[in-house]
Structure 1
Amino acid sequence: MPVVFAGHGSPMNAIEDNLYSRTWRIMAELMPRPEVILSISAHWYTKGTKIMNEKNPKTIYDMYGFPRELYEIVYNTPGSPETAEASKALISRETSYNNSWGIDHGTWSVLVHMYPERDIPVFQISIDADAPPETHYTIGRELRSLREQGVLIFGTGNIVHNLRLAEWDKVGEGFDWAYEFDGFVYENIMKKDHEKILKYEDQGNLAKLAVPIPDHFYPLLYALGASDEGDSISVYNRSCVLGSVMMTAYIWG
């Protein structure tokens, strides 16, 4: 299976027919059908690494103040306890099973377009808020072999995500620094220079603006770790909304 990173942006993308939702559908059409989807979402940000092994994970509505239609979405896929167990065995650091969470909007707002039938098992692995970038990348690398078993490793966040600086009238526009940081990441993904991306904080104030909190950035590192040197790289949705949220998506393989 390929590896995917998707910039998910606003939860409203789940119910809107727009450039992003249409592109996610196209991305799914271009890939083999997964046997299982392993999602690393910006919105399961925890102390330690947690793995969901629920047979029937619940849909999580981890957002506030949106239209009722959004809260009526139920992404009721089965889980995959077997793949969760295999994942736990592959990860070298201490992990634990935890089913207090579920399929959150970082995951379902994209998958509702990619796989609307809801018949592919989905489970999530959390992001340890205290771990350095190298740890997240290493976990992705350790999970890479799951690709050979039909597992889609799916990172969902945003390469640039700074809601404190968002300007709600900049619907399809971005600040210069947002494009610059996205360009830095793009250049090094295409060159397959992952080390520079892991050391993104070396970009100084640019990194502080683009990644004030790394929850939305770290899912990219899992995808990079799971990618392979021989993978082709495709880029989608390379645009900005609200001035400070980049929607860029990648497929490796």
Structure 2
Amino acid sequence: MPAENTGRVDRRTFNAGLVVGGTTLTMEGLCGTAVAAETSPVAANDQRLPTIFVAHGSPELAVDPVRGAPFAQWGQAMPAPKAIMVVSAHWEKTRPVMLSSTDPKELVYDFGGFPRPLYEVRYDAPGAKDLATRVESLLPQSSVMRSERGLDHGAWTPLVHMYPKAEIPVLQVSMPSAEGPRGLFEFGRALAPLRDEGVLIIGSGNITHPMLELRRGLPRETPTWAGDFDAWAAAAVEAKNYGELINYAAKGPDVRRNHPTPDHFLPLLVVAGVASVQDAKPKFVLEEFEYNLFSRRSIEFV
């Protein structure tokens, strides 16, 4: 059986008193109301689509309209995709690469101890059958397998804001982390042709993800070591210095503190690989911190 990390998140690791900063949650359109169209109404797009890195942060993003607002605006500003492909920090496998179900499936609620409304969120996007077939053609046939898995929270928590009607077919592709940073970069390069076929490629993680620091409590301001790592990554992205990102374990400041495990940084390498093929220009869509620890820096490569 191939090794797999589904990246389950436990709410007990977060400070229960700082869920949404006292903001009243608007649940309409999120809990059980997003119903997919039978077929995608989005026409094929002859315009090259961006590829993006989304900082998904806490699963509570899905039910927080304040934290979700930048993603809603982002989705409206981009060209409408024909389909969406997501690589999330919460689905890691060795070979073979796995594809999520191409039939509508229940979401994967891969976390514990969060408020009940979060487990009632629906995102019934159509299955991306054509995209699954195309991904198989871009990767060696022997290294790809289909599954019956639904979308995990690294995929659906940003999507409920970016594309709330759930009309666009979505395919999640597992992240072959065992290939290492260079292998993940090349994995992204192999998938780059999808940009010219109307597919929005999303990498979902966080540039800083210091989960162990939560044991100390939440800091009153962003620690220097977290700000420095975020700034280092931003500078490498802006300069298109992808070799620096690939060698993050040696080059990034305080890397072990910012990433006790690498899973949330690695989706950035996949997206960087995609972007490198057409020399895409990066722009920062969101630059801030969640809980003063988790960078929300999100990037669009155009």
Whether the 8 Å CA contact 1:153–1:223 is kept in 2: the answer is yes
Aligned residue among 222, 246, 253 for 2:295? 246
Q: Counterpart of 1:55 in structure 2: which amino acid?
A: D
Partner residue, 1:46: 93
2: distance between equivalents of 1:2 and 1:96?
A: 24
Q: Counterpart of 1:33 in structure 2: which amino acid?
A: A
Question: 1:115-134, CA deviations, whole angstroms, 9 ceiling, x for partnerless residues?
Answer: 00000000111112322101
Question: 1:43-100, CA deviations, whole angstroms, 9 ceiling, x for partnerless residues?
Answer: 1122322122422233110011111111001111011122112112212485232324
Deviates more, 1:154-163 or 1:54-63: 54-63
Question: 1:115-170, CA deviations, whole angstroms, 9 ceiling, x for partnerless residues?
Answer: 00000000111112322101111111110000111000001010111111125544
Whether the 8 Å CA contact 1:87–1:143 is kept in 2: the answer is yes
Partner residue, 2:212: 164
Superposition misfits of 4+ residues, deviation over 3 angstroms: 167-171
Match of 2:98, SS state, is strand
Whether the 8 Å CA contact 1:57–1:78 is kept in 2: the answer is no
Whether the 8 Å CA contact 1:4–1:153 is kept in 2: the answer is yes
1: distance between equivalents of 2:210 and 2:243?
A: 23
2: distance between equivalents of 1:198 and 1:76?
A: 35
2: distance between equivalents of 1:93 and 1:186?
A: 35
State the TM-score, normalizing by the size of structure 1: 0.93
Task: Check if 1:218 corresponds to 2:266.
Answer: yes
State the TM-score, normalizing by the size of structure 2: 0.79
Task: Check if 1:23 corresponds to 2:97.
Answer: no
2: distance between equivalents of 1:100 and 1:170?
A: 40
Deviates more, 1:49-58 or 1:136-145: 49-58
Size of the alignment, in residue pairs? 251
1:169–1:211: structure 2 CA closer, same or farther, 3 Å change rule? closer
- Give percent identity, aligned residues only: 31
Deviates more, 1:45-54 or 1:210-219: 45-54
Task: Check if 1:34 corresponds to 2:81.
Answer: yes
Q: Give runs of aligned pairs for residues 31-180 of structure 1, distance below 5 A.
A: 31-48=78-95, 49-92=97-140, 94-166=142-214, 168-170=217-219, 173-180=221-228
Q: Counterpart of 1:124 in structure 2: which amino acid?
A: Q
1:184–1:76: structure 2 CA closer, same or farther, 3 Å change rule? same
1:204–1:140: structure 2 CA closer, same or farther, 3 Å change rule? closer
Q: Counterpart of 2:197 in structure 1: which amino acid?
A: Q
- Which runs of no fewer than 5 residues in structure 1 stay unpaired? none
Aligned residue among 282, 286, 292 for 1:237? 286
RMSD across aligned positions (CA): 1.7
Match of 1:227, SS state, is helix
- Relative contact order (C-alpha < 8 Å, sep 6+): which is higher? 1
